[in-house]
Amino acid sequence: MDAALIALIVLWWALITYAVLGGADFGAGVWDFFAVGRLADRQRNLINHALGPVWEANHVWLIFLIVGLFSVFPSAFSTLSIALFFPFTLALLGIVLRGAAFIYRYYAVETTGRFARSWGRVFSVSSVLTPFFLGASAAAVASGKLLLPNGMADATYFVSWISPFVLTIGAMAVSLCATIAAVYLTVEARDTEHDRELAESYRLKALIAGAITATLGALGLVLSSVESPILWQGMLVRAWPVVIVTMIIGLATAITLYTRHYNTARVLIIAEVAFMLGAWGLAQYPYIIPINYTIGNSANAPNVITAILIGLACGMVIVIPSLYYLFSVFKLPYPAPEAQRSANE
Amino acid sequence: MSNLLAARAQMGTSLAFHIIFSALGVGIPLLLCIVEGLALRTKNPVWMMLTRRWARAAAILFAIGAVSGTILSFELGLLWPTYTKFAGAVIGLPFMLEGFAFFTEAIFLGLYLYGWDRLSPRAHWLCSFPIWISGLASAWFIVSANAWMNTPTGFVMKHGTIVDINPLQAIFNPSTPYETVHMILACYVATGFAVAATYALAILRGKRGEYYRKGLMVGMLMAVIATPLQIISGDFNARYLADYQPIKFAAMEGVTHTEQGAALKIGGLADPNTGQIHYAIEIPKGLSLLAYLNPDATIKGLEQVPRQDRPNALFVHSSFDGMVASGLFGLLVALLFWGLYWFKKRTIPENRLLLRGIVLAGPLAFLAIELGWMVTELGRQPWVIYGYLRTKDAVTTAPLLNVSFLVFSLVYILLSAALIWLLLQIAHRPLPQVKVVGEGYQVIEPTIADAEEAGI
């Protein structure tokens, strides 16, 4: 296996991690948008506590993806930046406003004042828009129609990303983020807030969002057969077993949620995302941007990729245990060394 | 506005915005580490009050630093796709490593800022170490990539394609040691003066007490250590530039013709077309003496390269002078402060003029960073990768860049206004109540009701 393929697999793994961690943070913002009525304040409080310690670290996976693509496949990165100029710019605005708005709301001196409420709105709206544009960008790449027929990138070639398939996948990205977040929030409402009512409300939300995701996913699959023949061919030839497993896991997630086995549901939804994105990766292999950029013709020089892989290995040795420590202190049931449970639990 | 100008304006605005937060992101964690360490060691609650206050401000500043840094990583591609194709191939590695440093910083920041009740006092303090170390590493990696743009090495250009790439040689290009040290010291200088200026202002407004005195001392301590080192580093940089980036150096110092025994020109305005400086104070042979320790040394002039390859000397020279002047002002203030401190038998000087000087040194230290950044960036023009890729050839083909510039400018204005408002609100809150309990501290943040009772 050559260095470029190993690097691509690492990047794909980072994409999955970003989806299950960063995606959930966007999803929490989606639920913040729908937080109305009697439970609204408790919901916002839960979302604040769930995101506070981890959202910045989760966000770094995106930076990691960008610099990874930039240094392993520089020509493909350059082309994507031109072709997806508009959706990327919109997603970027969303990312920036989401992060800033969250922190402004969190640290507002008056939690119910005008300042906090306005930024809360910005937080929730940008949390809906960002995954939509990121999902749409991914779908535009997968569709195989991103570039002009001569293989050049053009930012104004709008047909490449305004199509039923692309818009469906964009919407599915939003509902998938919402589903992941709802599952996590169910667990956290039960375990850290000890709020059964809140947990029940997120369980219902997870089931609804999950059903919407499944519907949009099925629609996307059907549309891909017409609109993105390369992806469809890849599904039929290589990725079909993974697609079937994805469907089974999706069903199992719904069942565990329904029967209130929340911890299992949390593991299953992570597996669901991993298999879904894995199916996309397998179906699109060996293209980076179908049909003009492949792993072979767009990878950086092998010695440079080897150097990057060594750098990656060194970096991961530091980052992975640190991440485990972060999550064990704030999210996992097993407390880390030197951690103490706070008095109010 | 042409697409090129709009793209440069957007990139420049983004960098000018982000650099403030990245400087604080390097400097504040070290201060937090020091004051929290003192709090645990001395059991003096004032140190813990400072720690808590700064941590709250840091949480907000770092989040804005993270999102504004994200803008830059996207903009490299969105505005300069041709640059990314070239740079990604050669200098991608430090960007990647910077990503890991940012990762480590974000992880431990999460633990640090939200883990007060969940970690033991010692574990909490230990979490501050990876933050300042990775902040330092981030700055080093990202500035090494910028250094490479000034003196690109580690590859061979053969018939328009890049071959024989050596990523380590690219990272350790000739400019790296000079530029990285200068930027990192600038972060400490600026953070030190920013903190000192905050407390000097409070003391000027009549606030008294150990909390304000200690805050002022810690800020001034960082400033007095970092500023002289920064001036020495600046001298090394200038002498290095004279040899390795002579055109930038000529624009900084207003040298048009290559000359022996060149004069040092302070102030004045450069003619943007010729690079000639008018109305400057001239010190005969001063430049040759400073650059080569030899009054008759030869300094290369702008005329070495054709006119279309020269930077705008007006901006470069004036920015350079402004940076040096701000730096020397900071040095003067820091030395006066500590001189008076020792002279008055270890009491904090409360001379109002000196305190006003400290208040002024805060913003000037950030101005020095902005101007220094302009010297290095504008001094490299018209190239983005010196000698290989011109800025005008790197810009994207995407349309509506002026709209994009407008939208991002509005976002920056919105974020800054909200940030300033929020920080002022936080600064006006009553101080947290801190008690020593066992190995650590018990901290009660005042609620809004308490604040109203206190008449705020």
For residue B78, list chain A residues with Cβ-Cβ distance below 8 A: 81, 85, 88-89, 92
- The nearest CA of chain B is from the CA of A164 a distance in Å of 24
Contact B103 A64 (CB under 8 A): yes
Contact A341 B123 (CB under 8 A): no
- The nearest CA of chain B is from the CA of A18 a distance in Å of 13
- Residue A343: pLDDT band by 50, 70, 90 thresholds? very low
Query: How far lies B215's CA from each of A179, B62, B192, B200, B436, in Å?
Result: 47, 20, 10, 9, 20
A27 exposed, middle or buried (CB, 10 Å; 0-12, 13-18, 19+)?
buried
Contact B92 A92 (CB under 8 A): no
For residue A79, list chain B residues with Cβ-Cβ distance below 8 A: 81
Q: Which amino acid is at A114?
A: R
How many CB contacts within 8 angstroms connect chain A with chain B? 235
What tokens were used for B268?
């004045």
Can you tell me the distance from the alpha carbon of A80 to that of A74, in angstroms, rounded to the nearest whole number?
A: 10
Closest to A250 in 3D by CA, of A284, A285, A218, A222 = A218
Contact B88 A71 (CB under 8 A): yes
Residue at token pair 């969303």: A94
Integer-rounded Cα Rg, in Å, for chain B is 24
DSSP code at position B117: T
- Residue B59: pLDDT band by 50, 70, 90 thresholds? very high
For residue B68, list chain A residues with Cβ-Cβ distance below 8 A: 96
- Any alpha helices (H) in A107-163, and if so which ranges? 114-142
Closest chain A residue to B446, measured at CA: A109
- Residue B131: pLDDT band by 50, 70, 90 thresholds? very high
Contact A319 B100 (CB under 8 A): yes
Q: What's the rounded mean pLDDT across residues B93-116?
A: 93
Contact B59 A342 (CB under 8 A): no
- Residue A336: pLDDT band by 50, 70, 90 thresholds? low
- The nearest CA of chain A is from the CA of B136 a distance in Å of 15
Give the closest of B110, B411, B451 to A96, CB-based.
B411
What pLDDT digit, counting tens, does each position of B257-289 carry? 899 989 899 988 888 888 888 898 989 888 998
Burial A109-138 (b: 16+ CB within 10 A, else e): eebeeebbeebbebbbbbbbbbbbbbbbbb
Contact B67 A318 (CB under 8 A): no
- Residue B41: pLDDT band by 50, 70, 90 thresholds? very high
Residue at token pair 């501050």: B128
Contact A304 B92 (CB under 8 A): yes
Contact B117 A342 (CB under 8 A): yes
- The nearest CA of chain B is from the CA of A153 a distance in Å of 9
Contact A67 B429 (CB under 8 A): no
| Sheet strands (E) in B209-332 | 259-260, 264-266, 269-270, 277-278, 281-283, 298-299
User: Looking at the DSSP assignment, which residues form a beta bridge with residue B162?
Assistant: B157
Residue to substitute from B111, B158, B406, B411, interface A, most A β-carbons within 10 A? B111
Residue A344: per-residue pLDDT: 37
Cβ neighbours for B209, distance < 8 A, ≥ 6 positions apart:
none
Q: Is A169 in contact with A136 (CB distance < 8 Å)? A: yes
- The nearest CA of chain B is from the CA of A237 a distance in Å of 33
Residue A111: per-residue pLDDT: 80
CB atoms within 10 A of CB A296: 11
Can you tell me the distance from the alpha carbon of A82 to that of A86, in angstroms, rounded to the nearest whole number?
A: 9
pLDDT at A345 over 80: no
Q: What's the rounded mean pLDDT across residues A272-291?
A: 92
Residue B455: per-residue pLDDT: 47
User: Looking at the DSSP assignment, which residues form a beta bridge with residue B453?
Assistant: none
> Where do the domains of chain A lie?
3-330
For residue A303, list chain B residues with Cβ-Cβ distance below 8 A: 165-167
Residue A342: per-residue pLDDT: 45
pLDDT at B140 over 90: yes
DSSP code at position B119: B
Contact B67 A67 (CB under 8 A): no
For residue A119, list chain B residues with Cβ-Cβ distance below 8 A: 418
Give the closest of B66, B82, B100 to A99, CB-based.
B66
Contact A318 B399 (CB under 8 A): no
Residue B430: per-residue pLDDT: 82
- The nearest CA of chain A is from the CA of B28 a distance in Å of 18
Can you tell me the distance from the alpha carbon of B171 to that of B177, in angstroms, rounded to the nearest whole number?
A: 10
Give the closest of A66, A82, A338 to B397, CB-based.
A82
Give the closest of B97, B119, B411 to A338, CB-based.
B119
For residue B94, list chain A residues with Cβ-Cβ distance below 8 A: none
What pLDDT digit, counting tens, does each position of A241-277 carry? 999 999 999 999 999 999 999 999 999 999 999 999 9
For residue B84, list chain A residues with Cβ-Cβ distance below 8 A: 70, 74, 77-78, 81
Residue A171: per-residue pLDDT: 96
B159 exposed, middle or buried (CB, 10 Å; 0-12, 13-18, 19+)?
exposed
Closest to B327 in 3D by CA, of B234, B424, B425 = B234
Contact B81 A103 (CB under 8 A): no
What pLDDT digit, counting tens, does each position of A180-231 carry? 999 999 999 998 888 899 999 999 999 999 999 999 999 999 999 988 888 8
What pLDDT digit, counting tens, does each position of B403-437 carry? 999 999 999 999 999 999 999 988 888 888 888 88
Q: Is B276 in contact with B349 (CB distance < 8 Å)? A: no
CA contacts within 13 A on the Cβ side of A231: 27
The string of DSSP letters for B347-376 reads -----HHHHHHHHHHHHHHHHHHHHHHHHH
- The nearest CA of chain A is from the CA of B89 a distance in Å of 6
What pLDDT digit, counting tens, does each position of A66-117 carry? 999 999 999 999 999 999 999 999 999 999 999 999 999 999 888 888 999 9
Can you tell me the distance from the alpha carbon of B60 to that of B455, in angstroms, rounded to the nearest whole number?
A: 26
Can you tell me the distance from the alpha carbon of B383 to that of B311, in angstroms, rounded to the nearest whole number?
A: 9
- Residue B441: pLDDT band by 50, 70, 90 thresholds? confident
Contact A330 B110 (CB under 8 A): yes
DSSP code at position B442: E
Residue A145: per-residue pLDDT: 87
Contact B425 A59 (CB under 8 A): no
For residue A89, list chain B residues with Cβ-Cβ distance below 8 A: 74, 78, 404
Closest to B19 in 3D by CA, of B331, B311, B368, B320 = B368
Give the closest of A155, A303, A330 to B397, CB-based.
A155
What pLDDT digit, counting tens, does each position of B294-331 carry? 989 999 999 899 989 999 999 999 999 999 999 999 99
Contact B70 A75 (CB under 8 A): no
What tokens were used for B393?
């050839």
ipTM: 0.91
What pLDDT digit, counting tens, does each position of A28-73 carry? 999 999 988 888 888 888 998 889 889 999 999 999 999 999 999 9
Contact A338 B63 (CB under 8 A): no
- The nearest CA of chain A is from the CA of B97 a distance in Å of 7
CB atoms within 10 A of CB A282: 18
Contact B167 A59 (CB under 8 A): no
For residue A301, list chain B residues with Cβ-Cβ distance below 8 A: 89, 163, 165
Q: pLDDT exceeding 70 applies to what percent of chain B?
A: 98
What tokens were used for B444?
């009660």
Residue A79: per-residue pLDDT: 93
